[in-house]
Chains A and B, each alone.
Chain A
Amino acid sequence: MNINTTKIISLLFFIFSAFYLYTAYQIQVFAFDENAPFNARTFPIYLGYAGLFFSGLKVILPDPNTIKVDHKNLEYKKTGILILIAIIYGATILKVGYFLTTSLFLFASYYFLGERRWILMFLLSFPFVAAFMYLLHGILDIYLRDPFLKSIGVMG
């Protein structure tokens, strides 16, 4: 049996399914429901077994369509930076507010992806977000929480 990344992913899924199944058995159901034909743990238990079955088959059976990924050609650095910026964006959006964090997120993303046309970067961040906010909040009446704009008196 050839070990490739797909098989390793399938093995990880097998372990995950085993953990899911174990957790499914731990679901506390009401006493009167314990021996019922169907209770809150029935479906998850079936799913756990299904996960074990399919991932087990994938691990055991031969893999005629082996996927080979050339890791040297993958852009891990930029992808990692983008994910990090998105996490920071998620962490600050509630406290700082939609407008400022979103604009800064866009500006920083353009920069880290290699863009250096400053005027275009600015236009596609601050004014763009303002216009989008107007569309959502002003026209479509979708509430957008923004403590920063509230503190400077722009939003009510």
Chain B
Amino acid sequence: MIEGILIGLTTALTIQNILMVMVGCFFGTIIGMLPGLGPMTAIALMIPITYGFDPATGLILMAGVYYGAVFGGSTSSILLNAPGVPGTVATSFDGYPMAQQGKAGKALAIAAWSSFAGGTLSAIYLLFMAPSLSKVSLSFRSPDYFALMILGLTAIAAFSSKGQFLKAMMMVVLGLMLASVGQDSLSDITRFTFDNMNLTDGISFVLVVMATFAMSEALTIILKRNDPTSAAKQVSLTELGSIKINKEERTKMYKTIPRSSVIGFLIGVLPGAGATIASFLAYGMERNVVSDEEKEKFGKGSVNGLSAPETANNAACSGSFVPMLTLGIPGSGTTAVMLGALLGFGVQPGPRLYMTNPEIFWSIIMSMYIGMVILLILNLPLIPYIARILAVPKNYLIPLILFFSVTGIYVMSFNNFDIYLMIGIAVVATFLRLYDFPMPPLILAFVLGGLMEENLRRSLLLSNGSWEFLWDRTLTACILATTILIVVWHIYKTFKKKI
């Protein structure tokens, strides 16, 4: 492992890669502060720029954007009670009351230090867990992978939005359908191309991400007359006050951070769960374990109440890299986008990644830590200035998002058809968003579609067409049983609400 860490440090500490982490964190913070524009959009917009980099640098940039976006989301949660990303909703419960008491700077400092500590601890967990899990996952067979992908897709649908399980499952199916367009990987038979040559190679991943996130988000903002930049304008005018944390507050944080980081990391590792659930769980757990006196302060500016979700959401970000790096199966929409980008680079994440491309595997882990340091040193004192940059009207922001989206497709294919297809998908996605059809399940399904078909094919061929492979191995049966439980639970809940 020492050798791996050194490889990672050598790659991550090059001037170019440090610069990429800084740019990523900075850009991510800006996007994260805009309510509605989350880390997935930020990462999607970065894809065209990463074409010119090697895979390690490209992924380091995207990881920086991810952390920056989560940190930016916390800032608008604390200062305005307007979470930029869902993972920072719990931050506003105690962060915003603290800011209202004139302790905005202190709240931001607590959030930044908790994020830093949570990220650091989870990077250490990842450091130890990922190689071991990679070795374990070498024993995974096609049926296990197939079952795991079904679990991942069901879980992301279940957790994507409350009470919208069936809608999310429809989006999963739509994502898989889109992934099935083009040549079959084994027989080269074309499917669903309707004799259109442009569809023979299938629909590009970048196109689907740009259309369903960047472009449709821009169109939704215009359609709903939202102004995401108004929040940033207010942030730039807010008086922050002191950012010093006193001894008593530090003592409280020392207790909260370790337990919240463990929860955050473990939830992050689970497919589909992610930062939102991690932060809520950590907040709930913290409220249960603190003294009665401290419990009274929850919701009114508690240090523990702010520190717990902030630690957990950053730890979950690192945790979500575990299934992607070790199994090649992303645990969240954001890591699905990263997986798609990696596949675009010709790198196949999975159990063998740390043997075949150790520089990518280890440099991502090491760059996470560097990212945390940069967020702490650069972003905390610079928040009011970053917000000032954001005080551009949406009249400029929206065309720039559309421009980045079209450029991403243009430099990839030089093909008009792809641009029209992207606009078409974006219009449909915008309409679906209006009625709360979630997009992350679609992206995850689109990324996993090819892998899922391949593993189902192998499993069925090995079992001579019998579906017994689903319960032949204990591991497969356990994964599948968990999936069935999730489906049954959600169908039951839907019925129960009506009755």
The residues of A with any CB-CB pair to B shorter than 8 Å are: 5-6, 9-10, 13, 17, 20, 23-24, 27-30, 33, 36-44, 47, 50-51, 54-55, 57-58, 61-62, 64-65, 67, 69, 73-76, 78-79, 82-83, 86-87, 89-91, 93-94, 98, 102, 105-106, 109-110, 113-115, 120, 124, 129, 132, 135-136, 139-145
Residues of B within 8 A of A115 (CB): 393, 395-396
Q: Are B406 and A79 in contact (CB under 8 A)?
A: no
Contacts of A105 in B (CB 8 A): 399, 402-403, 406
Q: How many residues of B contact A (CB 8 A)?
A: 68
Q: Cβ of B464 < 8 Å from any Cβ of A? A: yes
- B403's partner among A41, A44, A67, A102 (CB-CB below 8 A) is A102
Judging by beta carbons under 8 Å apart, are B399 and A109 in contact? yes
CB atoms of B189 and A79 under 8 A apart? no
Stretch at the interface among B81-89, B196-204, B415-423: B415-423
Asked if A142 contacts B51 (CB within 8 A), the reply is yes
Question: Is B481 interfacial (CB-CB < 8 Å)?
Answer: no
Main secondary structure of the interface of A (DSSP, over half): helix
Of listed A76, A89, A114, residue having the most chain B CB within 10 A: A89
- CB closest chain-A residue, reference B411: A142
B162, B174, B219, B225: the one within 8 Å of A82 (CB): B219
Flag B7-31 by CB within 8 Å of A: 1 or 0 each.
Answer: 0000000000000000000000000
Q: Let me know if A93 and B423 touch, CB within 8 A.
A: no
The 28 sampled A-B contact pairs (Cβ below 8 Å) are: A9-B437, A20-B192, A23-B192, A36-B461, A38-B456, A38-B460, A40-B186, A40-B191, A42-B460, A43-B453, A47-B176, A47-B180, A55-B170, A57-B166, A67-B434, A79-B223, A86-B423, A87-B420, A89-B406, A94-B415, A94-B416, A114-B395, A124-B400, A135-B49, A136-B49, A140-B49, A140-B53, A144-B410
Write the nearest CB–CB distance from B433 to chain A, whole angstroms: 10
Most chain A beta-carbon neighbours within 10 Å: one of B49, B189, B395? B395
Contact for A98 among B180, B410, B416, CB less than 8 A: B410
Q: Is B167 an interface residue (CB 8 A)?
A: yes
Residue from A30, A37, A76, A110 in contact with B464 in the complex, judged by beta carbons closer than 8 Å: A37
Interface centre among A5, A36, A38, A132 (most CB of B within 10 A): A38
The interface centre, meaning the residue of B164, B457, B495 with most chain A CB atoms within 10 A of its CB, is B457
With A43-B452, A90-B423 known, 6 other A-B pairs at CB within 8 A are: A24-B191, A33-B187, A40-B189, A75-B224, A129-B403, A136-B52
Instruction: Decide: A29 and B189 in contact? CB cutoff 8 A.
Output: yes
In B149-173, the 8 Å CB interface with A consists of 162-164, 166-167, 169-170, 173
Is B475 positioned at the interface, with any CB of A under 8 Å from its CB? no
